[in-house]
């Protein structure tokens, strides 16, 4: 075998291992039918006990912010135990005006637990807003929602029950993109969330190392004080805070119940998708470089952290590798054994497609949605181009990280998911 062939074989086997492990993570919640209850939300709620502060950092969200506030207010939870704080910067008068209008309207209706906090210092990013919001509030449990979130009315009851009965300080509840049928890449984006929150996060919880989500995550005020709030220099403050909590040995409870998920929307355009994903990738790399995970107590935690945080690099690498491998498979005559090994990642890609298709059926069934005709074919056609989107985002992320470009490319929200609610 030539050196080129050896390299291809080694890379193929590594890819096979990587994709196999990813598939295992995707399937984690289903791996053992006997354990399905372990991951579920409580079936019965205990009486409301904890008080909640909902932080709603908003920037240029004039179109949706009033709707978001209404959504939180619809919660089946006593108003006196619920405090909603919208955080805006002073240079965003549109959103500020909409929030103020809403507060006036609510006060007229006798609702007094919504507040607006306006700040004017730098930096302009989400962790900074969160820290300001956190410092100006007092309720026992702090949670974050994004402006475009559609919140289930019982989510506070779920978290209240889990925190009271299990005594945990951090709860991550499910977040789910819903508009799987609006763009060619939407279904696959939806499925990423589906597998991430419903399945993979449970594995992370088990190992004790969780990159938390950006919203629907609940902390006790005390734990945020202990770790000193959010890192304002980080592009993925959520992942970062998760790693730091794990480092402290804090148990994080993951709850995913299709019914209680916080509903979100996929980015409206390919460009927005790439920008959002680039930011996440860059953030992961930041956290990776920060190296906090290195002081995690267990090897398994460190390995899983590296595997997760380094995934943009792997993705970028794979994107470069796939054309080479395709070219080799189709046009270069190789010894049959080598050629067969080169095909193994392709097999795994097919396996991934099968998992995604089954996942989509499960998703559609869980939310009582309608499966559009020929969806399996559309998913198949979109499957590889979507990998390319991920690849481009990964390459951009790696590139920007290496260049040190750290500005926040914010995602646009158009309320697309609010139309698909069944």
Partner 1 sequence: MSISLAPATLPDAQRQHALWSTLSMLGLALLSAVVHSYNMFGFPLYLGDEGIYMAQAYAVARLGSLTPYPYWYDHAPAGWILIAAWSVLTGGFHTFGTAIDGGRTLMLLLHVSALVLLFRILLHLTQSSLAATIGGLFYALSPLTVVYGRMVLLDNIMVVFVLAGTLLLVNYDGQLWRLFVGSLLFGVSVLTKESALVLLPVLVFGVWTLVSRQHSSFARGIWLFGAIATISLYPLYAALRRELIDFSLSSPLSGTGNQVTLVGAVLWQISRSGGAPWDAQSDFFQALTGSWLVRDPWILGLGLAAACWNLVRGTTRIRLIALLGLVSWLSLMRGGLVLDFYVIGLLPFMAMNIGLATARVAGPGRAPGVLIALLAVTGVLGFTNLSRQSEIFTLDMTTTQRQALAWVRQHVPADAQIIIDDDLWVDLRDGPAGQPSFPGAHSHWKVANDPAVYRDLFNQDWRNIDYLIMTPGLEEIFKREQDRLPYQAWSHSTPVARFNVGDAAIEVRRVNSAGIAIKDTLRASYQSFIENHVREGRVIGNGEYTDVRDQAGAMLMAVWNDDQPTFDALWRWAQFRLQAEDGRLLHTNAPGVTPQTFADANADAALALLLAERRWNDASYGREGLRIARALWASSVVEIDGRPYLAAGDWAIEDERIIFAPASFVPYAYRMFAAVDPEHNWWWLLDNTYQLLAQVSATDLGENRSAGIPPTYVALNRQTGAIKLDQRGLPGAGTAFESDAALTYWRIALDARWHQDGRADSYLKTAAFLFDEWARKGTLAGRYAHNGTVQREEVSLQLYSAVLPLFLTVDESAGHALYATRISTAYTHTPSGVRWGDGKNVAEQRWAWLTSAFYLDILDNTWNN
Residues that bind partner 1 (CB under 8 A): 27, 30-36, 334, 336, 339-340, 343, 347, 350-351, 354-355, 357-358, 361-362
Return the number of the residue (198 or 417) whose C-beta is nearest partner 1. Answer: 198
* Helix or strand (DSSP H, E) at 172: strand 170-173
**DSSP state letters, 343-358:** HHHHHHHHHHHHHHHH
| Cβ at position 351, least distance to partner 1 in Å | 5
Widest pairwise Cα distance in the chain: 79
Return the number of the residue (17 or 388) whose C-beta is nearest partner 1. Answer: 17
| Cβ at position 32, least distance to partner 1 in Å | 5
| Cβ at position 155, least distance to partner 1 in Å | 23
| Cβ at position 2, least distance to partner 1 in Å | 16
- Residue 53's DSSP bridge partners are 83, 142
| Cβ at position 258, least distance to partner 1 in Å | 13
Return the number of the residue (324 or 337) whose C-beta is nearest partner 1. Answer: 337
| Cβ at position 22, least distance to partner 1 in Å | 14
Return the number of the residue (30 or 399) whose C-beta is nearest partner 1. Answer: 30
The Cα 103–Cα 69 span in angstroms is 9
Q: Which residue has the tokens 């005709």?
A: 373
Return the number of the residue (37 or 121) whose C-beta is nearest partner 1. Answer: 37
Q: Which residues contact 350 (CB under 8 A, 6 or more apart)?
A: none
Extract the tokens encoding 313.
Answer: 């690099």
Return the number of the residue (324 or 350) whose C-beta is nearest partner 1. Answer: 350
Query: 344: buried, middle or exposed (CB in 10 Å: 19+, 13-18, 0-12)?
Result: middle
**How far is CA 352 from its chain centroid?**
20
Return the number of the residue (367 or 412) whose C-beta is nearest partner 1. Answer: 367
Return the number of the residue (30 or 307) whose C-beta is nearest partner 1. Answer: 30
| Cβ at position 200, least distance to partner 1 in Å | 14
CA 323 → CA 1, 271, 320, 345, distances in Å? 21, 23, 6, 13
The Cα 93–Cα 104 span in angstroms is 16
Return the number of the residue (168 or 339) whose C-beta is nearest partner 1. Answer: 339
The helix/strand/coil state of 214 is coil
| Cβ at position 359, least distance to partner 1 in Å | 8
The Cα 253–Cα 298 span in angstroms is 19
Which residue stretches of 215-296 are H helix?
221-227, 237-247, 270-290
Q: Which residue has the tokens 């597998």?
A: 195
Sheet of 252-255, strands arranged across? 114-119, 82-89, 52-57, 141-144, 217-220, 170-173, 252-255
The Cα 317–Cα 118 span in angstroms is 43
| Cβ at position 34, least distance to partner 1 in Å | 4
């Amino acid at each position: 075998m030539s050196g080129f062939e050896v390299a291809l074989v080694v890379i193929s086997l590594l890819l096979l291992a990587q994709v196999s492990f990813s598939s295992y993570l995707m399937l984690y919640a289903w791996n053992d039918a006997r354990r399905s209850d372990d991951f579920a939300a409580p079936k019965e709620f205990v009486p409301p006990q904890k008080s909640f502060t909902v932080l709603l950092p908003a920037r240029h969200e004039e179109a949706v912010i009033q709707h978001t506030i209404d959504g939180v207010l619809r919660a089946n939870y006593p108003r006196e135990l619920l405090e909603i704080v919208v955080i805006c910067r002073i240079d965003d008068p549109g959103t500020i005006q909409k929030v103020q209008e809403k507060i006036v309207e609510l006060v007229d209706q006798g609702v007094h637990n919504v507040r607006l906090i306006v700040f004017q210092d730098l930096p302009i990013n989400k962790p900074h807003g969160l820290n300001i919001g956190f410092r100006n509030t007092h309720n026992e449990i702090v949670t974050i929602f994004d402006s475009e979130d559609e919140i289930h009315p019982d989510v506070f009851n779920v978290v209240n029950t889990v925190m009271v009965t299990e005594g945990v300080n951090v709860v991550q509840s499910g977040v789910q993109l819903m508009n799987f049928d609006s763009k060619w890449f939407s279904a696959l984006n939806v499925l990423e969330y589906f597998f991430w929150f419903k399945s993979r996060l449970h594995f992370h919880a088990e190992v004790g190392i969780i990159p938390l989500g950006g919203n629907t995550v609940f902390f006790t005020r005390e734990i945020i004080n202990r770790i000193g709030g959010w890192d304002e220099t980080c592009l993925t403050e959520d992942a970062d805070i998760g790693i730091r909590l794990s480092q402290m040995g804090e148990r994080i409870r993951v709850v995913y119940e299709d019914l209680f998920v916080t509903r979100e929307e996929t980015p409206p355009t390919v460009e927005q998708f790439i920008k959002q994903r680039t930011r996440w990738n860059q953030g992961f790399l930041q956290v990776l470089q920060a190296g906090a995970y290195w002081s995690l107590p267990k090897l398994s935690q460190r390995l899983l952290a590296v595997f997760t945080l380094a995934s943009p690099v792997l993705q970028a690498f794979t994107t470069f590798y796939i054309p080479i491998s395709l070219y080799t498979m189709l046009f270069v005559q190789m010894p049959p054994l080598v050629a067969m090994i080169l095909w193994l990642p392709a097999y795994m890609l097919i396996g991934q497609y099968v998992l995604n298709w089954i996942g989509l059926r499960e998703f559609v069934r869980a939310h009582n949605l309608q499966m559009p005709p020929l969806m399996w074919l559309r998913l198949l056609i979109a499957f590889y181009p979507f990998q390319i989107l991920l690849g481009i985002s990964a390459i951009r992320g790696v590139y920007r990280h290496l260049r040190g470009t750290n500005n926040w490319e914010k995602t646009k929200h158009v309320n697309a998911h609010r139309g698909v609610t069944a």
